[in-house]
Structure 1
Amino acid sequence: MSDTLRSVPLAAEEQREQSQFGHVRQGETVAPTAAPNSVQQRDAFFDNAKYLAIVMVAAGHAWEPLREGSRAVTALYTLVYAFHMPAFIVIAGYFSRTFDAGPGRIKRLVTGVAVPYVVFEVAYTFYTRWTDQEPDRPISLLDPLYLTWFLAALFIWRLTTSVWKSVRWPLPLALALAMLATLSPSIGNDLDLQRTLQFLPYFVLGLLLRPEHFRLVRRREVRLLALPVFACALAMAYWAVPRMNYAWFFHSDSAEELAAPDWHGPVMTLTTFGCSLVLVACFLAWVPGRRTWFTVLGAGTLYGYLLHGFFAQGAKFWGWYNPAWVHQPIGVLTATLVAAAIVTVLCALPVRRVFRCVTEPRMEWAFRRFR
C-alpha cells in the first residue's frame, strides 16, 4: 500500500460489506485524506492488509499437511502463524474503538458475529462428520470447531471493549491475563477461552492505536528494514524448528498442555507477543495504501476466512496431498497458489452475495426499533 493513508468511497454495494475483521462505521474516518462528501468510507490500506492476511491464513492451512518431513515448510508455517492472526486481531481491535454497546452496535455484533458463529459451527460439525468419518461427533456451541474460535473470541473482546477503554493500563492488564491463562490448563475449551485470553493483548493493542501509528510503520526506512527483519525471522524459524514447539504461536494451550514448565508460559507470552508485533509491523510496512485490484476483496475477508476451511479440510479427504510430488517444492508452491486462488474467489462479491444471508443477515424482525 502507498505512503499516505487514503480513504476510498465505497460503491453502494460495497458499503454493505462491513467485514467483522475491521470496517469503517458511519461517521468514522480513519485517514486524514477522507473525502468530505462521503458518508461512509473504507480505507484501502486496511482492506489490502486484510486481503493479504487472509491469503496468509489460507496458505498456512495449505502447508499444514506438508510440514511432516520438511523443515523448510515448517519454518514458513511457523513464520506465518507468528503474524497473520495477530495482524487480523490488531486491525479488529483498531476498528472496535467506537464500540459503545448501543443498540445498533449490539445488533451488528449479533448478526455479524454471533449468528455466523452458530451457523458455521453447525456446518463445520456436519462437514467434519463426513470428512473425518466421525458420524457421532456432537454439535457443541460451547466448543468452537476449527475456524469458528475467532468469532467466539471477537464476540467476547468487543463486549469487553468499554472495560479496556476505562482502565488505566489496558495493555499490561491484558498481557497479565494472557500470562495467567498459560498457567491454567483448567480453563478448558468452553468458547475456546484459553485462546481468547492469550490473543487478547493484540485486540487491546488495536484499541489503543491511532492512524498516526500506522503511518509510522509505513515510512520508507521501516519498509527497507522490514525485508532483512523478515529474512532473519525466517532463518530463526528454520533454526528453531527442531528446538522449539511452534504451537506457542497458536495461543491455544497452557504451558502444561505443551509439556513445558509453568514458568515457560508467561515468558513465552511476552516473547511471542514481541516477535509477533515486530512481524506485524513489517507486514503492514509493505501493504500498499493505494487502491489495487484486490482492495475490494478486503471487504469480504470474513467470507474467505469462514468458507476456505471447507476446502482445507476437504483437500485431505479428497486425497489432494497423496501424490509424492505434492510434498516436493513444486507441490508446495502449487498448494500455495491454489489456496490463494480459492480464498480470493471466496472473498469476491458474487460469493458474498450468495452467503450474506448467513454471514451478515439483517434480521430486522429480531430487534426492536430505537429512535
Structure 2
Amino acid sequence: MTSAKARVALWDNARFALIVLVVIGHLISTVRTDTELGFALYAYIYLFHMPAMIALSGLFSKPEVTPKAIASTVQLLVVWGLWEGIWAVLRGVVSGKQLSQNFLVSPAWTLWFLVTLATMRILLPYIARLKHPLVVATGLALIAPLLPAIGVNFSAARTLAFLPFFVAAWLAKERGWLAGDWFMAPSRGLRAAAWALFAGIAAVMAALAALPGGFRGAWRIDRWLTHRDSYAWMFERAPLGAWNANGDGVAGWFGLAAGGVAVGALLLALAAAMTLALLIVVPRGHSIFTVWGTRTLYVYLLHGVVVWALRESGVVGAVGQLGWLGVIVLSAAAVAIAVLLSSSLVSRVLRPLVEPRMDWLFAPMPTRNPS
C-alpha cells in the first residue's frame, strides 16, 4: 500500500504569502487613493498577486477529463453558487439590497476567482491539444480587451487575461521546467536577483510617487490591474500620458489598440517576472506558514465578509484617515485576519461552507470485470 504523495512546502508557503497580499489589497482598496503609499502598495500587490495565484492553480491542473477532475471542477462551481447565495443574503439583510439582475452572471466581488479557475480547468484539455498553447493563451489575453463587450460577466475578461499564467504553469510542470536545482534549491545569486527585481519595481513606484502630481496623478494603473475591462474603457478612465480613448496622441483606433496591446504585454511580462521571483525567494522548508498555506481557500472566501463588515461599519475609512500610518495599520490588520482565518478551528467549523462534501452528487464509478 503506497502512502499519499507528500505536499511540497514551497507551494504552500507561496500560497500563504499570496493570500496575505490578497487580504492587504482588499482591505486598503477603498482608501488606496487617499495616500501615495496606499496607492503604490495597492498597485505593487496587484501587479502580480492574482497572476501568481492562478499560476499555482495551473501547476496542479491536468488536461484530463477524469472523474476526479470533474468532481473537483463541479465542487468549485457549487461553492461559487453557495457563496453567491451567502453574499445575496448578507447584502439583503444588512444593506437592504435586492437581488441583482446580474445575479450569477456577474460574480460577486471575490467569487470571480472560482469562476475563472473552473473555466480554465474546463478549457485546459482543449488548450493542451494545441501546438503552441502558451502562444495562443497569450494572444487571447492581449487581443480580448480589444472587444468592447469584454467585462465582468462570468469573469470572461479576467479568465482570458490570466490564462497565460495558468497555461504556463501547467506547461512548466508538464515539461519539468521547474524540476531542476536552479529552482528547487536556488543559489544566493538567483535569490539576490529576485529580491533586486522586487526592489527595483518598488523604486520605480517611489520615483513616480515623488512626481509633482504623484503616482496616481501620473497614471491610474490600478484600473488596468483589475483586468476586467476593454482597452477603450481603460484608456478613457486611466489615460497614459497622451494616450486616451479619443485617440489623442496616437493614430486613431489602431494606435489606441496598439497602445493597449503594448501596455497589456508589459503588464503580463512584469507579472510573469514577479511571479517567478516570488517562487524563487519563498522558503522551501516546512513551518507554520506551510500549514496555513493549505487553508488559503478559507481565507479567500471568508476574508471578504470580514473586510466588507469593516468597510460597512466605517472602520476602514476611519483608519484610512490616518494617512500613511493608516495604510500600515490596515496592512498589519490584514495579516492578522489572514492568520486567524487560517486556523484549524476556522477550517473545522466552516468546512461545510468552504469544502462541502460532494459524494452525494456523483454516481459510483462502475468497476471493470477482469477479462
Residues 136 and 368 (structure 1), Cα distance of their counterparts in 2 relative to 1, 3 Å cut: closer
- Corresponding residue of 1:84: 49
CA distance in 1, matches of 2:151, 2:280: 37
- Corresponding residue of 1:251: 227
Question: Do residues 363 (structure 1) and 358 (structure 2) align?
Answer: yes
Counterpart of 2:107 in 1: which secondary structure?
coil
Report the AA paired with residue 177 of structure 1: L
- Corresponding residue of 2:132: 169
Question: Do residues 100 (structure 1) and 64 (structure 2) align?
Answer: yes
Calculate percent identity across the aligned residue pairs. Answer: 30
> Is the 8 Å Cα contact of residues 129 and 137 (structure 1) preserved in structure 2?
no
The offset of 1:131, in angstroms, is 5.3
CA distance in 1, matches of 2:93, 2:155: 23
2:118 to 142, 155, 164: 155
Name structure 2 gaps, 5 residues minimum.
Answer: 209-214, 237-244, 246-255
CA distance in 2, matches of 1:127, 1:151: 19
The offset of 1:310, in angstroms, is 0.7
Residues 242 and 216 (structure 1), Cα distance of their counterparts in 2 relative to 1, 3 Å cut: farther
The offset of 1:325, in angstroms, is 6.9
Q: Could you say which structure has the larger radius of gyration?
A: 2
CA distance in 2, matches of 1:219, 1:129: 53
2:182 to 216, 222, 230: 216
CA RMSD of aligned residues (A): 2.0
The offset of 1:262, in angstroms, is 2.8
The offset of 1:152, in angstroms, is 0.4
CA distance in 1, matches of 2:10, 2:70: 27
1:233 to 189, 201, 204: 201
Q: Which moved more, 1:280-289 or 1:168-177?
A: 280-289
The offset of 1:353, in angstroms, is 1.7
Residues 273 and 322 (structure 1), Cα distance of their counterparts in 2 relative to 1, 3 Å cut: closer
Q: Aligned runs of 1:169-208 on 2, under 5 Å?
A: 169-208=132-171
Q: Which moved more, 1:316-325 or 1:288-297?
A: 316-325
The offset of 1:146, in angstroms, is 0.3
Give the helix-richer structure, 1 or 2.
2
1:353 to 337, 348, 356: 348
CA distance in 2, matches of 1:360, 1:280: 27
- TM-score if structure 2 supplies the norm length? 0.84
CA distance in 2, matches of 1:94, 1:136: 36
1:63-98 CA-to-partner distances (Å, cap 9, x unmatched) read: 2122123112211110110111111111100110x3
- Corresponding residue of 2:21: 56
How many residue pairs are counted as aligned between the two chains? 334
1:180-227 CA-to-partner distances (Å, cap 9, x unmatched) read: 211012134320211111111111111111355265353321211122
CA distance in 1, matches of 2:198, 2:294: 27
CA distance in 1, matches of 2:319, 2:7: 44
1:110 to 74, 79, 85: 74
Residues 347 and 270 (structure 1), Cα distance of their counterparts in 2 relative to 1, 3 Å cut: same
CA distance in 1, matches of 2:320, 2:220: 27
Question: Do residues 307 (structure 1) and 271 (structure 2) align?
Answer: no
The offset of 1:38, in angstroms, is 3.1
1:235-282 CA-to-partner distances (Å, cap 9, x unmatched) read: 223415322232222111111111143333221221111011111122
Name structure 1 gaps, 5 residues minimum.
Answer: 1-35
CA distance in 2, matches of 1:159, 1:73: 37
**Runs of 4 or more consecutive aligned structure 1 residues displaced over 6 Å after TM superposition:** none
- Corresponding residue of 1:275: 270
> Is the 8 Å Cα contact of residues 16 and 296 (structure 2) preserved in structure 1?
yes
Residues 43 and 179 (structure 1), Cα distance of their counterparts in 2 relative to 1, 3 Å cut: same
Q: Which moved more, 1:230-239 or 1:209-218?
A: 209-218
Report the AA paired with residue 231 of structure 2: A
